[in-house]
């Protein structure tokens, strides 16, 4: 136990309210819960980590922390990329990893009720057993939890056609900043009773309440997808193809951009045998069934060619197509092996994608900074990955300048500073650029109403 933890009155109260295995004060163990995957976001040292197993235990923790005015930092799997789950000094990190039960799959109402610690892919597998499907699929879906997805309003590959987490969450159980355990939302297909407090909670990054249960709508299982790949000589040409897809009125089930550097990094790591001779690859998919799907795939090929593809075709090899999408999901951890990464998450109008990619390239040149690119290109959500050699302070300084410039360019093009990773710590300055002082004050008023003591994830988002 750390010196600061010894005899702390909060820990005495927690020991009396919870089973002994719930509270962790070993500093080495607690250090593993102190931050998420945002490489450069600051974090402090928690007083303790608490791993509850029920909503009532979460409530007990929040009430004890409220009584002692100790901050509470909720945490899922720690896969976030903005510092939203980072500890502050002396806080309790409230890890929801053990609340991982799929409580219910209702095939008639097409909904699921799950604990916040359920891994995204585990929910999808449980739904599939009933012929149902949960669409939100962030690249971290094999590891990230539904609670964390709710916290950041996560998106993913399918969101270009099927929407993001907020489009599927219809009910929540939440512990408020005043220690109340409440239910929000509904189980019915429709409902407009009162304010949309569920929508308010989704994307609030643990600053307005601690989610203890999630009710999501499900969709019927969909038809098999057809994959279209296009090779491009540079990201701007690929961006033109993305804009062309939008101009033609096509709504693909996925439209992903990944540059050759990312693919080579994945192949060097996983030895997948990716035979891609291109600087940039666009990966499109359609799940429209039958002849209409064939026509949509052909139209995607035509859009890629009109945008300047050196080669484009519908895949006839399902394994090869799946390998390319798997490589897209592995791009971030593959590049992370090469050095510290500063990850962007800007989103711009689809028509502005070519210009935004051009500006990202210009920022890389201007600041002598190495930037790789992946993107949910179909909805304009770009993830430039700024790679910095370990221990190179000057390169880090230049990377921060490029990071800030990318944010400014996205806003100038009518975009937003974060499409799905959340504000956390890394995007707080960007949020202040995006929102007017009056709107920021509205955010703070909501925070003050739901967390009057300011104990829930303090210092994040609109602090």
Do 232 and 381 fall into the same domain? yes
> What DSSP letter does each residue of 92-123 carry, written as one string?
EEEE-TT---EEEEETTTTEEEE-TT-BHHHH
Instruction: For residue 274, tell me if it sits in a domain.
Output: yes
**What CATH number is attached to the domain comprising 76?**
3.30.43.10
Last residue of a domain, one of 95, 123, 138: 95
Do 61 and 112 fall into the same domain? no
CB-based contact 460:423 (threshold 8 Å)? yes
- For residue 337, the model assigns a pLDDT of 87
The Cα 115–Cα 146 span in angstroms is: 8
**Which has the closest alpha carbon to 155: 102, 239, 81?**
81
Instruction: Provide the 10 A C-beta neighbour count for residue 429.
Output: 13
Residues of the chain above pLDDT 90, percent: 87
Last residue of a domain, one of 169, 185, 220: 220
Do 184 and 129 fall into the same domain? yes
**Pairing between β-strand 92-95 and β-strand 72-75 as defined by DSSP bridges:** parallel
**Which has the closest alpha carbon to 282: 310, 301, 258, 300?**
258
Compute CA 143 distance to the chain's CA centroid, rounded to the nearest angstrom: 12
**Which has the closest alpha carbon to 152: 66, 211, 100?**
211
Do 256 and 372 fall into the same domain? yes
Q: How many domains does the chain fold into?
A: 3
Instruction: For residue 430, tell me if it sits in a domain.
Output: no
For the chain, the 3-state helix, strand and coil shares in percent, each to the nearest 5, are 40, 20, 40
What stretches of 107-208 adopt beta strand conformation (E)? 111-114, 132-133, 169-176, 181-185
pLDDT tens digits for range 351-399: 999 999 999 999 999 999 999 999 999 999 999 999 999 899 999 999 9
Instruction: For residue 432, tell me if it sits in a domain.
Output: no
The Cα 186–Cα 215 span in angstroms is: 8
Do 115 and 200 fall into the same domain? yes
**3 state SS of 95:** strand
Structure tokens at 328: 């897209």
Instruction: For residue 436, tell me if it sits in a domain.
Output: no
Structure tokens at 218: 């499900």
Do 269 and 398 fall into the same domain? yes
Say yes or no to pLDDT of 213 above 70: yes
- Describe the crossing of helices 353-366 and 235-247 by its angle, rounded to 10 degrees: 160
As a residue count, the chain comes to 463
To which residue do tokens 């944010």 refer? 407
To which residue do tokens 């239910």 refer? 183
Phi, psi of 399 (to 5 degrees): -65, -40
Instruction: For residue 82, tell me if it sits in a domain.
Output: yes
- For residue 275, the model assigns a pLDDT of 63
Q: What's the domain range around 289?
A: 226-412
Q: How far is CA 34 from CA 73, 89, 107, 421, 455, in A?
A: 9, 10, 39, 18, 17
To which residue do tokens 């007017």 refer? 436
Last residue of a domain, one of 95, 125, 141: 95
- For residue 40, the model assigns a pLDDT of 87
> What DSSP letter does each residue of 361-379 carry, written as one string?
HHHHHHTT-EEEEEEEGGG
Do 330 and 233 fall into the same domain? yes
Say yes or no to pLDDT of 6 above 70: no
Say yes or no to pLDDT of 139 above 70: yes
Do 24 and 164 fall into the same domain? no
Do 210 and 292 fall into the same domain? no
Instruction: For residue 418, tell me if it sits in a domain.
Output: no
Instruction: For residue 272, tell me if it sits in a domain.
Output: yes
Do 287 and 378 fall into the same domain? yes
- Alpha-helical (H) ranges within 276-350 are 290-307, 318-336
Average pLDDT score over the chain: 95
Q: How far is CA 180 from CA 59, 70, 154, 177, in A?
A: 7, 17, 26, 7
Do 110 and 23 fall into the same domain? no
User: Which residue has better confidence, 409 or 273?
Assistant: 409
Do 152 and 265 fall into the same domain? no
CB-based contact 43:427 (threshold 8 Å)? no
Say yes or no to pLDDT of 313 above 60: yes
**3 state SS of 121:** helix
């Amino acid at each position: 136990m750390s010196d600061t933890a010894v005899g702390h009155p909060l820990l005495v109260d927690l020991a009396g309210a919870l089973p002994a295995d719930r509270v962790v004060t070993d500093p080495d163990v607690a250090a593993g819960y102190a931050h998420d995957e945002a490489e450069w976001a600051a974090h402090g040292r928690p007083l303790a980590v608490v791993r509850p197993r029920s909503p009532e235990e979460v409530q007990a923790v929040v009430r004890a922390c409220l009584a002692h005015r100790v901050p509470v930092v909720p945490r899922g799997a720690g896969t976030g990329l903005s510092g939203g789950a980072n500890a502050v000094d002396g806080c309790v990190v409230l890890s929801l990893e053990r609340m991982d039960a799929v409580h219910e799959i209702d095939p008639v109402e097409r909904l699921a009720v799950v604990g916040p610690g359920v891994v995204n892919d585990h929910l999808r597998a449980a739904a599939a057993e009933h012929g149902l499907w949960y669409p939100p699929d962030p690249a971290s879906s094999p590891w990230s939890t539904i609670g964390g997805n709710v916290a950041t309003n996560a998106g993913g590959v399918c969101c270009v056609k099927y929407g993001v987490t907020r489009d599927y969450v219809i009910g929540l159980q939440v512990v408020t900043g005043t220690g109340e355990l409440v239910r929000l939302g509904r189980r019915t297909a429709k409902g407009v009773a009162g304010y949309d407090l569920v929508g308010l909670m989704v994307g609030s990054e643990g600053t307005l309440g601690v989610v203890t249960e999630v009710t999501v709508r499900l969709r019927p299982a969909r038809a098999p997808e057809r994959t279209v790949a296009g090779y491009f000589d540079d990201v701007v040409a690929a961006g033109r193809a993305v804009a062309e897809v939008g101009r033609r009125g096509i709504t693909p089930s996925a439209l992903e951009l990944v540059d050759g550097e990312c693919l080579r990094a994945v192949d060097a790591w996983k030895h997948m045998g990716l035979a891609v001779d291109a600087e940039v690859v666009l990966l499109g998919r359609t799940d429209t069934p039958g002849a209409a799907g064939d026509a949509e795939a052909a139209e995607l090929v035509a859009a890629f060619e009109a945008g300047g593809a050196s080669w484009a075709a519908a895949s006839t090899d399902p394994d090869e197509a799946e390998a390319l999408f798997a490589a897209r999901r592995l791009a971030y951890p593959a590049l992370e092996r090469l050095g510290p990464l500063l990850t962007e998450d800007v989103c711009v109008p689809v028509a502005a994608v070519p210009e935004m990619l051009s500006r990202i390239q210009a920022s890389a040149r201007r600041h002598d900074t190495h930037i790789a690119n992946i993107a949910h290109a179909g909805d304009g959500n770009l993830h430039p990955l700024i790679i910095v050699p370990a221990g190179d302070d000057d390169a880090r300084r230049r990377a921060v300048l490029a990071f800030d410039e990318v944010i400014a360019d996205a806003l100038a093009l009518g975009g937003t500073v974060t499409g799905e990773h959340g504000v956390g710590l890394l995007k707080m300055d960007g949020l202040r650029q995006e929102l007017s002082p009056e709107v920021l004050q509205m955010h703070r008023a909501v925070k003050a109403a739901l967390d009057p003591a300011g104990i829930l994830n303090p210092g994040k988002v609109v602090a």
